[in-house]
């Protein structure tokens, strides 16, 4: 492998500022949506006393999970010594921090009282997984920032591998903690399972790599930087493995619940007669987010076309939002069984009924604002600092060196 040189993103200023202005408009609209919900109250959203985590939580959790997965590219290079991935590591770290910031911003602004965040940051209940996650999120950003510095400062390169190992372990803990938020909620039939922790880890690998590959293709293509087939082939094949793994864990999750007699009503709700949740599961999660990208990525002809590869990445992202929509919102919509196996008097407060929920426009705009923040931070970062390799051509990045 030849020595890799890095430089700033050097597209024409008018084009760069146009892209940044578009993202700034998305962020501003998201901010106005958050302000509107804060001023009017959460009654203007689709959330209710039954569905307290709405569409913004879907966006936030997706971005947080994807942030962990975006760092996977750097981890493969540093921890597992795969040299072909090492030139890709700086962008991987930057994207991980940007996605996490975007996700946490959405999460904070969706709380209803964002100014009370200081309470959550100074008062801890360590029996709550939410308290653990505050340390996991802030620690992740700090560790990845140090990891980036060690990679980009030549004199400190020998210390980048230990930092990469720490970042690798920390991001596994972070994603485990995010999945455990749901796994530890025993009151909800759809959540109460330890399978959610490892499933969230493999979901992060898939969603983070899909976003990374899209950003890599976009930035290199727009500037005209050489991007060889070796790198693209490695990343798209790896993405296919992760997509298949997500489908496998989804299958195991539902087979486990089908085996448990007490979960049959939940499975019937999700798989058969859950209305929008059943449709999102089969069409969005399984078909668009799983089978379609697998068919594209491993097709002998389509898998070589970068436009189709980008389309497969977009399908994976759509599937990710669909999966989290079913998990987060569908899991709340399914009625809580207060006394399983027993007949009780119904109070009239949605006992035994599927909770209604429909995403509102402000919720969607707030979520898109978080995505805008993540992308804008990434584009500013690669514009002012040397995160991008000058060339990833096949003759520069030798696939035999990995």
Q: Per-residue DSSP letters for 321-389?
A: HHHHHIIIIIHHHSPP-SSTTS-----SSSTTSPPP----HHHHHHHHHHHHHHHHHHHHHHHHS--EE
Give yes or no for a contact between 88 and 231, defined as CB atoms under 8 angstroms apart.
yes
- Total domains present in the chain: 1
User: Euclidean distance between the first and final Cα of the chain, in Å?
Assistant: 9
Q: Classify residue 1: in a domain, yes or no.
A: no
Q: Classify residue 176: in a domain, yes or no.
A: yes
The answer to whether the predicted template modeling score (pTM) of the entire model surpasses 0.85 is yes
Q: Classify residue 344: in a domain, yes or no.
A: no
Q: Residue 112: which CATH number? A: 1.20.1630.10
Q: Classify residue 126: in a domain, yes or no.
A: yes
Q: Classify residue 342: in a domain, yes or no.
A: no
d(CA 218, CA 232): 12
Task: List residues bridging with 389 in a β-sheet.
Answer: 6
Q: Classify residue 28: in a domain, yes or no.
A: yes
Tokens of 276: 């929008």
Give yes or no for a contact between 289 and 315, defined as CB atoms under 8 angstroms apart.
yes
- One pLDDT digit (tens) per residue for the chain, 402 residues: 567 889 999 999 999 999 999 999 999 999 999 999 988 888 899 898 889 899 999 999 999 999 999 999 999 988 888 889 999 999 999 999 999 999 999 998 887 677 777 777 777 777 777 778 888 999 999 999 999 999 988 888 888 899 999 999 999 999 998 998 888 888 788 898 889 999 999 999 999 999 999 999 999 999 999 999 999 999 999 999 999 999 999 999 999 999 988 889 899 999 999 899 999 999 999 999 999 999 999 999 999 999 999 999 999 999 999 999 999 999 999 987 766 666 665 555 666 778 899 999 999 999 999 999 999 999 999 999 999 999 999 888 865 644
Q: Classify residue 329: in a domain, yes or no.
A: yes
Which range of residues forms the domain containing residue 365? 6-337+349-401
Q: Classify residue 60: in a domain, yes or no.
A: yes
């Amino acid at each position: 492998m030849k020595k890799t040189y890095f430089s700033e993103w050097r597209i024409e200023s008018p084009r760069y500022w146009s892209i940044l202005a578009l993202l700034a408009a998305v962020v501003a609209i998201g901010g106005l949506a958050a302000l509107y919900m804060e001023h009017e109250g959460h009654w203007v959203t689709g959330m209710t006393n039954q569905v307290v985590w709405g569409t913004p939580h879907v966006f936030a959790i997706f971005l947080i999970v994807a942030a962990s997965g975006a760092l996977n590219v750097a981890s493969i290079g540093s921890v597992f010594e795969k040299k072909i991935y090492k030139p890709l590591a700086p962008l991987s770290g930057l994207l991980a921090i940007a996605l996490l910031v975007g996700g946490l911003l959405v999460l904070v602004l969706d709380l209803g009282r964002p100014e009370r965040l200081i309470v959550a940051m100074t008062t801890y209940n360590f029996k709550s997984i939410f308290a653990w996650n505050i340390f996991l999120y802030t620690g992740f950003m700090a560790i990845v920032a140090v990891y980036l510095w060690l990679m980009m400062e030549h004199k400190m390169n020998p210390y980048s591998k230990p930092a990469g190992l720490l970042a690798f372990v920390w991001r596994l803990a972070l994603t485990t903690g995010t999945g455990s938020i749901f796994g530890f909620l025993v009151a909800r039939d759809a959540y109460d399972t330890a399978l959610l922790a490892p499933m969230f880890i493999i979901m992060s690998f898939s969603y983070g790599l899909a976003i990374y590959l899209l950003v890599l293709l976009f930035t290199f293509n727009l500037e005209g930087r050489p991007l060889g087939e070796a790198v693209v082939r490695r990343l798209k094949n790896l993405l296919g493995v992760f997509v298949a793994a997500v489908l496998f864990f989804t299958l195991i999750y539902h087979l486990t619940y089908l085996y448990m007699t007490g979960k049959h009503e939940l499975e019937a709700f999700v798989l058969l007669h859950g209305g929008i949740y059943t449709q999102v599961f089969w069409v969005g999660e399984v078909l668009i987010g799983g089978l379609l990208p697998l068919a594209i990525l491993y097709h002998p002809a389509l898998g070589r076309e970068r436009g189709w590869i980008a389309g497969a990445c977009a399908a994976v992202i759509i599937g990710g939002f669909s999966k989290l929509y079913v998990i987060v919102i569908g899991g709340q919509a399914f009625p809580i069984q207060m006394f399983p196996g027993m007949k009780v008097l119904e109070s009239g407060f949605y006992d035994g009924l599927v909770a209604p929920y429909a995403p509102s426009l402000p919720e969607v705009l707030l979520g898109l604002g978080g995505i805008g923040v993540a992308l804008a931070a990434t584009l500013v970062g690669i514009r002012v600092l040397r995160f991008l390799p000058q060339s990833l051509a096949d003759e520069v990045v030798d696939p035999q060196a990995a």
